[in-house]
Amino acid sequence: MNIYRFELKSNIPSTLLWIGALGVTAILVMCFYPMLKSDLDTYMELIENFPPVMKAAFDLSPEKFLTPLGLYTYAFTFISLFGAVQAMNLGVGILSKEEREKTADFLLTKPVTREKVLTAKVLASLTIFVVTNILFTALSAPAVAAFSESSFEAKKFALINLSLFFLQVIFFSIGLVISAAAKKIKAVLPVSLGFAFSFYAISAFAVTSEDDKLRFITPFQYFKSSYIASEGRYEPEYALTGLFIAVAGTVISYVLYKRRDIAAV
Reported as a single tens digit per residue, the pLDDT across 175-204 is 999 988 887 777 888 888 999 999 988 887
Task: Write the pLDDT tens digit of every residue in 44-85.
Answer: 777 777 776 666 666 666 667 778 888 898 889 889 999 999
Which pTM value belongs to this model?
A: 0.89
Q: CA 134: distance to chain centroid?
A: 14
| Alpha helices, H only, the chain | 2-31, 33-38, 40-48, 52-57, 68-100, 104-108, 114-146, 154-181, 188-208, 225-231, 236-259
Whether 110 shows a pLDDT value over 80: the answer reads: no
Q: Amino acid letter at 232?
A: G
Per-residue pLDDT band at 105 (split at 50, 70, 90): low
Classify residue 243 as exposed, middle or buried by CB count within 10 Å of its CB (0-12, 13-18, 19+).
middle
The domain locations on the chain are 2-259
Considering only residues 9 and 50, tell me which one the structure prediction assigns the higher pLDDT. Answer: 9
Find out whether 84 and 129 touch, Cβ atoms under 8 Å: no
pLDDT at 114: 80
> Which residues have CB under 8 Å from 124's CB, separation 6+?
3, 4, 7, 8, 11
Whether 264 shows a pLDDT value over 70: the answer reads: no
pLDDT at 113: 82
Separation CA 195–CA 184 (nearest Å):
17
Task: Write the pLDDT tens digit of every residue in 201-230.
Answer: 888 777 776 667 788 999 999 998 888 988
Which whole number is the average pLDDT over 117-131? 93
Whether 244 shows a pLDDT value over 90: the answer reads: yes
pLDDT at 262: 62
Does residue 219 sit in helix, strand or coil? helix
DSSP state, 235?
Answer: -
Task: Write the pLDDT tens digit of every residue in 18-40.
Answer: 999 999 999 998 888 887 777 76
